[in-house]
């Protein structure tokens, strides 16, 4: 028996923590939240730009959306793409789609028309009836012109960012006002759905095996792929999160900057609704002044953000000076959070409040997490999650690596996706014959079971045969006071074909007293790196950028940086 098979990391779980019984996640999300909607009907579920929506209203609105889908011929297993920012209409559409027995697919509002067409046609390739919820402006600018190129698209529902605000639009694009593409119905979210259909609960039978979400990955290995997540997958992750975090019904308020179309934002929202907590919707996470105001207004108890957003908040004087005494656990996910940045954040919000976790779309998503009450290790993503088997393997040989050595994270358990939608060969490459999901992330595990990410397998830099783990070096160089954000990429070495040069991109810490001498700063940071890193890890090139390119989720976009340095 290998060391990982023993699940020895359970000794690091909080006292009394236990796996879920299989019967606990043999359910559907709609069945999970139904009692909450009934019991907390008059309590706030969503806070959005000064407007509160209760659980009862969310329940009734989502029933109307579900009844609209059924009236338009949608049946169990059909798919609705939700192409919206973090506005109430997203959650209404999501829950309504699930109540109709249909599948939800998040569609980033930042996608081009061609990218939306690709995702929708990929979803429709299984001859599923398709619906799309989008903004009025997005419809006019991107969707209307390509809707006829999506054969299975039956209905488009248009909404507005101000749809629920006082004085905002309540009609949007109504049927007949905009000429729809051939055979495509175009409905107003408000006049043609919320004002028209019954708020009675639809009677559609769904099982734990049925698909609930098809969430698309970032496409780091080619075109984006749809990860098929069942009701069982989601039920396990939501209930495990709530148990792990010790959330009690109605006792907290969540604010998250994650977009709802992303698996992290989606899962936190599912868990928050299930626990009966209000959640503050943030349509623009880069507006940190707005986040600070909402934190005060709603007396927020928990934050969930990508590390770069915490770093932006830390740079905001208002956030630094706020009273954070009521703030509890602050979850960080989606990318590594440098240890020094975590320490600085905790000097602002309070010691022991940062809780880093790890997950990916294909694992529903959370698979590794720091303990809620017990020992945490800053800079670590934590220990394997409830009902989760994990091991680290050599990416080339597939053999397990010893503790303390870097290896690819492999995950098995009820959290692993059913597979990639209509891509059996891709599924077979990702999930091995023993049921382990190969994540593509490289980590080191210590004797207590805590893991620390050192790189993506595709982000490792080859310097003359030496492997440079970019996350490890980034965390080291981030200790320099001038560094606000940092990203390392490999640049082809013209003198040594097949080898690379390490290049660092630096965004300055806004509090650093910079005199504008970039050459001197470059030399200083490289000298600092030479003192802290192995010779082959030291960047040979360094560029100071005004603003680091970020993905829609808020992670540093290394794809963009590599394009700048082919």
**CATH number reported for the structural domain that contains residue 521 in this entry:** 3.30.300.30
pLDDT, one tens digit per residue, over 73-118 is: 999 999 999 999 999 999 999 999 999 999 999 999 988 899 999 9
Q: Is residue 115 part of a domain?
A: yes
Q: Once rounded to an integer, what is the mean pLDDT over residues 559-566?
A: 76
Residue 524 falls within a domain, yes or no? Answer: yes
The predicted structure's pLDDT at residue 396:
83
* 118: three-class secondary structure by DSSP: helix
The parent domain of residue 476 ranges over: 461-564
Give the other-Cβ count within 10 Å of 9's Cβ: 22
Which residue would you say has higher pLDDT here, 167 or 238? 238
Mention every residue, 6+ apart, whose C-beta is less than 8 A from residue 59: 37, 38, 41, 95
pLDDT for 172: 43
Distance CA 543, CA 507 (A): 9
Domain final residue pick, 182, 206, 230? 206
Q: What are the start-end ranges of the E strands in 118-257?
A: 130-135, 153-159, 185-188, 211-216, 226-230, 254-256
Q: Answer yes or no: is 505 within a domain.
A: yes
Give domain status of residue 270, yes or no.
yes
Indicate whether 189 and 50 sit together in one domain.
yes
Do 442 and 479 fall into the same domain? no
| Residues 171 and 261 placed together within one structural domain of the fold | no
Instruction: Looking at the structure, tell me whether residues 118 and 202 fall in a common domain.
Output: yes
Say what the pLDDT of residue 177 is: 45
Six-digit token pair at 285? Answer: 């996470």
My answer on whether 441 and 521 are in the same domain is no
565, pLDDT greater than 70? no
pLDDT at 182: 58
**Is 261 domain-assigned?**
yes
Provide the pLDDT for residue 530: 93
Are residues 404 and 487 both part of a single domain? no
Exposure of 23 by Cβ count < 10 A (0-12 exposed, 13-18 middle, 19+ buried)? exposed
> Which segment of 255-264, 306-315, 546-555 scores lowest on mean pLDDT?
546-555
Task: Answer yes or no: do 270 and 327 share one domain.
Answer: yes
**Residue 427 shares a structural domain with residue 340:** yes
More confident residue, 41 or 334: 41
The yes-or-no verdict on residue 488 having pLDDT over 80 is yes
Q: Residue 395 contacts by C-beta under 8 Å, 6 or more apart in sequence?
A: 407, 408, 442, 457
Q: Do 195 and 112 lie in a common domain?
A: yes
Distances (CA, A) of 492 to 463, 486, 495, 497: 10, 20, 9, 7
- Report the distance separating Cα 120 and Cα 155, nearest Å: 12
Cβ proximity of 170 and 120 under 8 Å:
no
What span, in angstroms and rounded, lies between the C-alpha atoms of 407 and 392? Answer: 5
User: Mean of the pLDDT values across residues 225-231?
Assistant: 97
CATH number of the domain that residue 46 is part of: 3.40.50.12780
Which of 412, 436, 456 lies at the terminal end of a domain, its last residue?
A: 456
> Does residue 501 belong to any structural domain of this protein?
yes
Average pLDDT, whole number, for the chain?
92
Distance CA 285, CA 295 (A): 13
What percent of the chain is modeled with pLDDT above 70?
96
Q: Which of 456, 477, 503 is the last residue of a domain?
A: 456
Pair (48, 155) in one structural domain? yes
What's the rounded mean pLDDT across residues 534-562? 88
Q: Please state the rounded mean pLDDT for residues 529-534.
A: 91
Q: pLDDT band at residue 460, thresholds of 50, 70 and 90?
A: confident
Helical H segments across 16-173, by residue range: 29-39, 55-71, 88-99, 113-124, 136-138
483 within some domain: yes
429 in the same domain as 528: no
Q: Which residue has the higher pLDDT, 180 or 502?
A: 502
Q: Does 217 have pLDDT greater than 90?
A: no
Mean predicted confidence (pLDDT) in 237-264: 96
Q: Is 361 helix (H, G, I), strand (E, B) or coil?
A: helix
Q: Which has more confidence, 262 or 469? A: 262
Task: Report the number of distinct structural domains present in the chain.
Answer: 3
Give pLDDT tens digits for 386-400. Answer: 999 999 999 889 999
The pTM score is 0.86
Q: Give strand pairing partners of 355.
A: 331
Cα 137 to Cα 330: distance, rounded to the nearest angstrom: 34
Q: Are strands 211-216 and 226-230 parallel, antiparallel or unpaired?
A: antiparallel
Pairing of strands 541-545, 500-508: parallel
**DSSP for residue 142:** I
pLDDT in tens, 145-202: 999 999 999 999 999 999 999 876 544 443 334 445 556 899 999 999 999 999 999 9
Is residue 404 domain-shared with residue 444, that is, in the same domain? yes
Within a domain: residue 400? yes
């Amino acid at each position: 028996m290998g060391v990982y098979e023993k699940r020895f990391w359970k000794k690091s779980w909080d006292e009394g923590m236990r796996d879920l019984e299989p019967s606990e996640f043999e359910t559907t999300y709609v069945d999970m939240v139904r009692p909450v909607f009934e019991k907390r009907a008059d309590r706030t579920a969503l806070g959005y730009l000064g407007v509160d929506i209760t659980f009862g209203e969310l329940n009734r609105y989502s029933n109307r959306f579900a009844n609209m889908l059924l009236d338009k011929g949608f049946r169990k297993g059909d798919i609705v793409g939700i192409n919206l920012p973090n506005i109430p209409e997203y959650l209404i559409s999501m829950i309504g789609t699930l109540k109709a027995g249909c599948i939800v697919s998040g569609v980033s509002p930042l996608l081009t028309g061609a990218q939306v067409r690709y995702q929708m046609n990929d979803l429709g390739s299984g001859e599923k009836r398709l619906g799309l919820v989008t903004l009025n402006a997005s419809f006019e600018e991107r969707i209307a012109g390509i809707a006829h190129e999506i054969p299975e698209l039956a209905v488009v529902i248009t909404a507005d960012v101000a749809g629920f605000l006082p004085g905002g639009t309540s009609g949007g694009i109504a049927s007949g006002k905009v000429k729809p593409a051939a055979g495509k119905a175009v409905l107003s979210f408000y006049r043609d759905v919320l004002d028209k259909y019954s708020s009675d609960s639809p009677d559609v039978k769904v099982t734990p095996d049925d698909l609930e979400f098809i969430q698309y990955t970032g496409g780091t290995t080619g075109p984006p792929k749809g990860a098929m997540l069942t009701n069982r997958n989601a039920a396990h992750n939501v209930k495990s999160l709530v148990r792990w975090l010790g959330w009690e019904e109605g006792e907290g308020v969540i604010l998250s900057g994650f977009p709802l179309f992303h698996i992290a934002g989606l899962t936190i929202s599912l868990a928050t609704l299930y626990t009966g907590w209000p959640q503050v919707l943030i349509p623009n996470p880069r507006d940190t002044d707005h986040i600070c105001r909402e934190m005060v207004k709603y007396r927020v108890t928990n934050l969930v953000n990508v590390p770069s957003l915490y770093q932006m908040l830390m740079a905001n004087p208002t956030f630094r000076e706020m009273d954070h005494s009521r703030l509890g656990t602050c979850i960080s996910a989606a990318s590594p959070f440098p240890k020094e940045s975590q320490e600085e954040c905790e000097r602002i919000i309070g010691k022991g409040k940062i809780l880093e976790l790890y997950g990916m779309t294909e694992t529903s998503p959370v698979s590794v997490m720091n303990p809620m009450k017990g020992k945490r290790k800053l800079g670590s993503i934590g220990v394997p999650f409830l009902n989760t088997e994990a091991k680290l393997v050599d990416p080339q040989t597939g053999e397990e690596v010893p503790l303390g050595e870097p290896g690819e994270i492999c995950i098995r358990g009820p959290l692993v996706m059913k597979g990639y939608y209509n891509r059996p060969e891709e599924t077979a490459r990702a999930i091995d014959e023993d049921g382990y999901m190969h994540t593509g992330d490289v980590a080191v595990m210590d004797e207590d079971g805590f893991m620390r990410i050192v790189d993506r397998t595709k982000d490792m830099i080859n310097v003359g045969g030496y492997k440079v783990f970019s996350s490890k070096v980034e965390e080291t160089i981030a200790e320099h006071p001038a560094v606000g954000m940092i990203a390392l990429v490999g640049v082809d070495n013209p003198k040594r074909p097949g080898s690379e040069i390490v290049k660092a991109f630096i965004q300055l810490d806004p509090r650093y007293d910079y005199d504008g001498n970039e050459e001197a700063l470059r030399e200083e940071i490289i000298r600092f790196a030479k003192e802290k890193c192995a010779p082959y890890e030291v960047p040979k090139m360094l560029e100071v950028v005004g603003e680091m390119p970020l993905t829609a989720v808020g992670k540093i976009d290394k794809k963009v940086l590599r394009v700048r340095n082919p």
